[in-house]
Chains A and B, each alone.
Chain A
Amino acid sequence: MSGRLAVENVFAGYDRTDVLTDVSLVAEPGRITCILGSNGSGKSTLIRAILGLTPPRTGRIVFNGHDLAGRDTHQIIRAGIACIPEGRKVFSRLTVAENLRLGAYQAGNEVARERMARVYGIFPRLAERAGQFTGTMSGGEQAMVSIGRGLMAAPKLLLIDEPSLGLSPLFVKENFSVIRRIQELGITVLLVEQNVRQTLAIAHYGYVLMQGRVVASGTAAELVENEEVRQAYFGDGVRPA
């Protein structure tokens, strides 16, 4: 059961309008589950609902058998969820090391030091730049900080929202291999991505959101064949590699 997330009949949104309408999905433990959908279909809102930033109006979000309803974001994080947010959201006026330390905010100094050493093992470049203000780094380096910061929490479930947005193809490729390594560590991954081919290549299961509703779901292989997905992403008749 470790790291299982179930979203059940969730309605959520901003002000008076619902963005998510009756969304249900499951992220199975230790797997990569992806959320596909065009811009504005509600993917980030779903992530925000899980994190308690945009609490669901109705419906349940169950993590490891516990209903997250009514919990504040820091309590949801304590339950073992972490997030690599859309747009990276690094603290630009803090150093790389400070950003990473914040990723393990609820852990003690000793534990944080160990995890930081591990993150530096994955991204040696961050070790070289530990004392640098994050805002002065390149987009790709900031993406490393954001991913490393998410790993610092040593979460059971990692929510990843469009990690390759605005990155060069080389970095995008590296991102995907890092995500696969994250999953190999036993972490459940809920991945939001626009890059459908590469996403389906590493994901086990996926859901397609359209205007805030789940319109299709299935294994990665099924989604590749799915009409909605093909029309939305691959254009007519083009088969993904």
Chain B
Amino acid sequence: MDIGLAGQYVLNGLMLGIIYAMVAVGFTLFFGVLDIIKFSHGDVLTVGAFTALAAYAGVTALGLQSPWLILGVIALAAIAGTAVLGALIARFLIMPMRGAPPINVLLLTLMLGTALRESVRLFYPNGSNPKMFPRLLPGGAANFGRFTLRYDSVLIFVAGVAVIVGVSLLINRSKLGLAIRAVAQDAETARVMGIDLEAVVLFTFALGSALAALAGVMNGMYYSEINFNMGLLLGLIGFSAAIIGGLGNIYGAILGGFLFAALQTIGAVLLPVSSAYKDVFAFAAVIVLMAWRPTGLIAEKSSERV
């Protein structure tokens, strides 16, 4: 294959990988602290992306001009909106289900996801149609032969890496992160240490949801388009990535995100007929991986979480 084209594939794979990793980390955090799979996660991502879009309409109506300022404001709106949404979901839907069979929580979050998705479609103006996502990053590109490196892609990727590094520092270095890891290992003993379990759970859900929102915004900026069901596939991919990595393990989730993106990229290269087949290829490969390593690539030792 042509070097330039190969570079393009790698760059695209890295972009997708960082977005998937951000979604997967949320799944892994929720599973860590509460042993649950939250199927509405992808749709929270959608809500985040549309919150950013609504905020964009708002700030441009107010006459804000600077693209950096606009970007900051809409990203903050998406983060704040979904963080609150995530904490509310945890407080009023998931915490009360503690002790219920896991399958009930799964069903509940599946229905919640559908409700969120359909709400975006119904209540966002003209929500059934794909929406243009504004280009706020500087245009321009560097050309290396047939390989075009868009500056905005580089910025999105660097921002994603910074967020992921920031989250892993928070989890591994801060006192709050220590509490999250303690809750993930043994919630009851964590309470005996004086940790406010509910506060830690709400924070974790706010954090995971904000990550999803950022992933949604990054996805929108990369493709310049969002739509009401974008969270369906991104959620499924994030979930798969978390599973491949070994659910409950943050580094596993990050690795899983990049691995899934790599599989899609390989699929796109091997099956040039239609890019739709790349997902089929990637999911088929995930199924094979799961058959080979049922507990994920980084196997969970009985007590290993987060």
Q: List residues of chain A with CB under 8 Å of any chain B CB.
A: 51, 53, 72-74, 77-78, 82-83, 85, 89, 91-94, 98, 101-103, 105-106, 109, 135, 149, 153
B194 touches A106 (CB 8 A): yes
Given the complex, which residues of B lie within 8 Å of A135, measured CB to CB? Answer: 303
24 intermolecular pairs with C-beta atoms under 8 Å apart: A51-B191, A51-B192, A53-B192, A72-B198, A73-B197, A74-B191, A77-B192, A77-B193, A78-B194, A82-B192, A85-B189, A89-B192, A91-B181, A91-B186, A92-B303, A93-B185, A101-B175, A102-B193, A103-B193, A105-B179, A105-B195, A109-B175, A135-B303, A149-B193
Alpha-carbon separation in the docked complex, A109 to B173 (Å): 13
> Across the interface, do A91 and B189 meet the contact criterion of CB distance under 8 Å?
yes
B303/A74 in contact, CB under 8 A: no
A41 to B29, CA, bound (A): 38
Q: Which residues of B contact A53 (CB under 8 A)?
A: 188, 191-192
Instruction: With both chains docked as a complex, state the minimum distance between the C-beta of A71 and any C-beta of chain B, in angstroms.
Output: 12
Separation of A136 and B188 alpha carbons in the complex (Å): 21
A135 to B188, CA, bound (A): 18
- Beyond A101-B178, A105-B179, whether A94 also contacts B194 by CB under 8 A is no
Chain B residue nearest to A52 (CB atoms) is B191
> CA of A94 to CA of B194 in the docked complex: distance in angstroms?
17
Q: Are B185 and A77 in contact (CB under 8 A)?
A: no
Residues on the A chain within 8 Å of B189, using CB: 85, 89, 91
Number of residue pairs across A and B with beta carbons under 8 Å? 66
Contact B193 A72 (CB under 8 A): no
- A53-B194 Cα distance, complex, nearest whole Å: 12
Of residues 163 to 194 in B, which have CB atoms within 8 Å of A's CB atoms? 175, 178-179, 181-182, 185-186, 188-194
In whole angstroms, what is the CA distance A72 to B197 when docked?
10
Are A74 and B196 in contact (CB-based, < 8 A)?
yes
Is residue B41 within 8 Å, beta carbon to beta carbon, of the partner chain? no
Query: Do residues A89 and B186 form an inter-chain contact, with CB atoms below 8 A?
Result: yes
Q: Is the CB of A91 within 8 A of B195?
A: no
In the bound complex, do residue A93 and residue B179 qualify as a contact, i.e. CB atoms below 8 Å apart?
A: no
Q: In the complex, A78→B194 CA distance in Å?
A: 7
Smallest CB–CB gap between A162 and chain B, Å?
15
- The distance in angstroms between the C-alpha atoms of A53 and B188, with both chains bound, is 8
Of A53, A72, A82, A102, the most chain B CB neighbours within 10 A belong to A102
Interface flags for B194-205 (1: CB within 8 Å of A; 0: not) read: 111110000000
User: Contact check: which of B182, B192, B198 meets A94 at CB < 8 Å?
Assistant: B182
User: When the two chains form their complex, are residues B186 and A74 in contact, meaning their CB atoms are under 8 A apart?
Assistant: no
* A93 proximity list for chain B (CB < 8 A): 181, 185, 301, 303-305
- Select from chain A the residue with minimum beta-carbon distance to B194: A77
Q: Which residues of B contact A85 (CB under 8 A)?
A: 189, 192
Task: Give the distance to chain B from A79, nearest Cβ to Cβ, in Å.
Answer: 10
List the 6 closest pairs (A to B, CB-CB), nearest first.
Answer: A77-B194, A73-B191, A89-B189, A102-B193, A74-B196, A106-B194
Residues on A with beta carbons closer than 8 Å to the beta carbon of B304: 93
The CA-CA distance from A79 to B191 in the complex, in Å, is: 14
Using A94-B178, A105-B193 as known contacts, list a sample of 19 further A-B pairs with CB atoms less than 8 Å apart, ordered by residue number in A.
Answer: A74-B191, A74-B197, A82-B192, A89-B186, A89-B189, A91-B182, A91-B185, A92-B185, A92-B303, A93-B303, A93-B305, A94-B185, A98-B178, A98-B181, A102-B178, A102-B182, A102-B190, A102-B195, A109-B175
A101 to B175, CA, bound (A): 9
Interface residues of B in 255-306 (CB under 8 A from A): 301, 303-305
A109 to B178, CA, bound (A): 13
Contacts of B195 in A (CB 8 A): 74, 102, 105
Q: With both chains docked as a complex, state the minimum distance between the C-beta of A201 and any C-beta of chain B, in angstroms.
A: 28
Residue interface mask B80-98, A partner, CB < 8 A = 1:
0000000000000000000
Chain A residues within an 8 Å CB radius of B182? 91, 94, 102
Q: How far is the CA of A72 from the CA of B305 in the complex (A)?
A: 25
Min CB gap A172→B, angstroms: 23
Residues of B within 8 A of A149 (CB): 193
Which of B185, B192, B194 has most chain A Cβ within 10 Å? Answer: B192
Binary interface encoding of chain B residues 218-233 relative to chain A, with 1 for a CB under 8 A from any of its CBs, else 0: 0000000000000000
